[in-house]
Chains A and B, each alone.
Chain A
Amino acid sequence: MLVGRFRRSERCGWLVTPSVSTAAIEFDGITKTYGRTTALDGLSLRVGHGELVGLLGPNGAGKTTAIKLILGLVRPTSGTGRVLGAPLGDRLARSRIGYLPELFRYQPWLRAREVLVWHAELAGVAPARRAAAADEALDHVGLTERADDPVSGFSKGMQQRLGLGVALLGQPDLILLDEPTSALDPVGRTDVRAILRAARDRGATVILNSHLLTEVERVCDRVVILHRGRAIASGALDEVVAADGVRLRVSDLGEAGRAGLRRFGPLSVDGEWLSIRPLDAARIPEVVAAVVAAGGRVHAVEPGRGSLEARFLELVTAPEESA
Chain B
Amino acid sequence: MIVIARLTVRELVRRRVVWVLAALTILSVALVAWGLDRLVSLARQDGTNELEIRIGVSQVLIMIAFMFSFVLAMTAAFVGAPAIGGELESGVALAILARPLRRVELLLGRWLGSAVVVVAYTVASGLLAIAVAVQISGYGPPDPFLAVAFLSGQALVLLTLTLALGSVLPSIAAGAIAVVGFGLGWMAGVLAGVAAAFGVGLLGQVAEVSRWIFPSDGLWRGVIYGLEPPLVVMLATGNLPRFADANPFYATAPPPLPFVIWSITWIVLVLGVAGWWFERRDL
Contact = CB atoms under 8 A, between A and B. Distances in A.
Contact of A106 (B3, B95, B283): B95
B90 A105 contact: yes
Contacts of B97: 71, 73
B199 interface: no
B98 A92 contact: no
A152 to B, nearest CB: 10
Interface residues of A, number: 30
A249 B15 CA distance: 64
Contacts of B90: 105
A101 B91 contact: yes
B95 A97 contact: no
B102 to A, nearest CB: 7
A94 B90 CA distance: 22
B95 A101 contact: yes
B91 A109 contact: no
A163 interface: yes
Interface residues of B, number: 20
A275 interface: no
Given A12-B100, A104-B91, A122-B96, A109 B3 contact: no
B154 to A, nearest CB: 29
Most buried by A among B96, B100, B102: B100
A31 interface: no
Nearest to A92: B100
Contacts of B44: none
A122 B91 contact: no
B100 A94 contact: yes
Interface string A107-120: 10110000000110
A40 interface: no
B99 A119 contact: yes
Nearest to B280: A75
A166 B11 CA distance: 19
Contacts of A73: 94, 97-98, 282-283
B14 interface: yes
Most buried by A among B14, B92, B98: B98
Nearest to B92: A105
Contacts of A109: 11, 14-15
A134 B6 CA distance: 19
B20 interface: no
A236 B91 CA distance: 33
A161 interface: no
Contact of B98 (A12, A75, A94, A110): A94
B98 to A, nearest CB: 4
A85 B214 CA distance: 46
A262 interface: no
A166 B282 CA distance: 22
B100 A119 contact: no
Contacts of A119: 95, 99
A75 to B, nearest CB: 7
B206 interface: no
A100 B91 CA distance: 11
A128 interface: no
B100 A123 contact: yes
A119 B101 CA distance: 11
Contacts of B99: 94-95, 119, 122-123
Given A74-B283, A104-B91, A95 B98 contact: no
Nearest to B99: A122
B91 to A, nearest CB: 4
A34 B282 CA distance: 9
Nearest to A73: B283
A146 B30 CA distance: 43
B7 interface: yes
B15 A106 contact: no
6 nearest interchain CB pairs? Answer: A103-B91, A122-B99, A99-B98, A95-B100, A74-B282, A105-B91
18 contacts: A73-B97, A75-B280, A94-B99, A95-B100, A100-B95, A101-B94, A104-B91, A105-B90, A105-B92, A107-B7, A109-B11, A109-B14, A110-B14, A122-B96, A123-B99, A123-B100, A163-B95, A166-B95
Given A74-B282, A101-B91, 6 more contacts: A75-B280, A94-B100, A99-B95, A105-B95, A109-B15, A122-B101
